[in-house]
Amino acid sequence: MPCIIKIMTKPADKRALQNANVVALAYDGLCTFEFGVAVEVFGLARPEMGDSWYRFAVASADDGPLRAAGGVRLMVDGGLELLDTAGTIIIPGWRDPQAPVPPALVTHLQKAHQNGARLLSICSGVFVLAATGLLNGQRATTHWRYVDVLARLYPKIQLEPDVLYIDNGALLTSAGSAAGIDLCLHLVRRDFGTVAANSVARRLVVPPHRDGGQAQFVPRAMPVDHESGRLGPLLDTLRQNLTEPHTVASMARRSGMGERTFLRRFQDATGTTPSRWILTERLNQACRLLEETALTLDQIAQQSGFGAAATLRHHFQHRFLTTPSAYRKKFS
């Protein structure tokens, strides 16, 4: 007999239980990839997730037939009225950063936000979200190509160009197109926990979490193949030896570089510093042990390279705004 596994999900955000309606915006000139990300993460049937999984619809922001990139034409579920009952609204890449956003769309998004809906933009979709004024004074990101124009058009936004995504609670923004996958998986993790997010990631055949920022994808004059050939083995070694101390000098020596060159190349390749990269890997290991084992906090601190439970608690609280014990209770 076949073995049927059902993943019992426990939404972490009570609002997701109250309103699991996800509505993706569509418009003439739609960015097909970003729209497809929303469909893949939120729009596919996932019976293994139980009855509390998302419900999905597509709302048109324009009248008439809709054309998407690649010669695709769309039929949608309804108009902007669908936003009035949405719990989460996905804004794919906008047709042109300089193109005006229809006033009716702005009004509906503002109203949805007031009603408690979460607004999530992918790539240049941030220009639609910025037009509502809701991002004024808030942290946000977008594709590195659009950073300068976004800063010029909306100077009140606290722009952070070197991250893959930003979660402000009810306002979420991602960098380039693929970073939309990272953000959508993050939202699944926030709503349903790590097991559910990992399950969706496996279906997509993508990592459930990527480290670093989009700085690593910005074009630069550097011998990528040569440097990645030296840094790749180092990163593998660091992951396999998180409990050991690692200094800039020892890492540079292992990579065959001087310390200054190593620090510059590491930043270029990963978007972060060696110490921050190692801290992230240690926190990821701690999360896995909290989710999958019954080890004590002291044991987890030892096995993830923090040494002491107090050190683990400090970094865990700073990064995740929660305690290891609370995390284990929610996600194990």
Q: Which residue, 158, 173, 204, sits at the end of a domain?
A: 204
Give pLDDT tens digits for 90-130. 999 999 998 999 999 999 999 999 999 999 999 999 999 99
Q: Which residue, 228, 246, 271, sits at the end of a domain?
A: 271
Task: Based on the fold, state whether residues 150 and 40 are members of the same structural domain.
Answer: yes
Task: Based on the fold, state whether residues 125 and 72 are members of the same structural domain.
Answer: yes
Task: Based on the fold, state whether residues 136 and 151 are members of the same structural domain.
Answer: yes
Q: Would the CA dihedral through 308, 309, 314, 317 be positive or negative?
A: positive
2 domain residue, yes or no? no
148 domain residue, yes or no? yes
C-alpha–C-alpha distance, residues 270 and 198, integer Å:
22
Task: Based on the fold, state whether residues 122 and 54 are members of the same structural domain.
Answer: yes
Q: Find the domain containing 293 and state its range.
A: 276-331
Which has more confidence, 247 or 201?
A: 247
Tokens of 112: 């949805």
What φ, ψ does residue 119 adopt, rounded to 5°? -115, 125
Which pLDDT score, from 0 to 100, does residue 213 have? 58
Give pLDDT tens digits for 201-237. 888 877 666 665 555 444 433 334 445 567 888 888 8
